């Protein structure tokens, strides 16, 4: 009797482990699909917002770039709400990386990030093409 009970318990444990593993694969696959969907949306939005010459890291015409362009605290302070993306690019000297694109109630929100040295960055959120908010990390 004990031998038969041990076999039943072993089978039940095996089934439970199999179910847990299958659920893990399903959930992991779902997260992978969601992540790929977000990346695809971000890449498509990046292509839409880029002009043909923006395939280069620094596509702003040289005469439009400040001599002190870059991810610095001084440049962060020059950026103000209401500015266009193009004006921010002029100040920072390069295009930002699209981090998030969201359309809410007909309002288009895009968050860009510019990376600097030593883990510094500037993020900026544009609402319908105008700077709405900005943030920086590590700038001194």
Q: Worst-scoring range by mean pLDDT, 12-26, 84-98, 110-124?
A: 12-26
Assess whether 57 and 34 both reside in one domain. no
Cα–Cα distance, 6 to 85 (Å, whole number): 68
- Domain containing residue 96: CATH number: 3.30.1450.10
Domain assignment of residue 126, given as a range: 51-137
Region 74-94 average pLDDT: 96
Assess whether 63 and 103 both reside in one domain. yes
Assess whether 91 and 129 both reside in one domain. yes
Assess whether 27 and 90 both reside in one domain. no
Assess whether 43 and 57 both reside in one domain. no
Q: Is the pLDDT of residue 16 over 70?
A: yes
Query: What is the count of structural domains for the chain?
Result: 2
Q: Which of 74, 140, 87 lies closest to 124 in space, CA to CA?
A: 87
Query: 0.85 cut: is pTM over it?
Result: no
């Amino acid at each position: 009797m004990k031998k038969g009970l041990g076999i039943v318990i072993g089978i039940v444990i095996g089934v439970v482990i199999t179910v847990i593993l299958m659920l893990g694969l399903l959930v992991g696959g779902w997260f992978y699909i969601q992540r790929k969907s977000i990346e695809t949306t971000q890449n498509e939005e990046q292509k839409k917002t880029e002009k043909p010459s923006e395939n280069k890291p620094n596509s702003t015409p040289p005469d439009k770039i400040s001599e002190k362009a870059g991810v610095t605290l001084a440049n962060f302070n020059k950026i103000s709400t209401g500015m266009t993306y193009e004006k921010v690019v002029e100040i920072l000297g390069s295009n930002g990386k699209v981090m998030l694109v969201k359309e809410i109630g007909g309002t288009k929100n895009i968050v860009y990030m510019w990376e600097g040295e030593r883990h510094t960055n500037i993020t900026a959120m544009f609402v319908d093409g105008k700077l709405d908010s900005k943030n920086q990390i590590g700038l001194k």
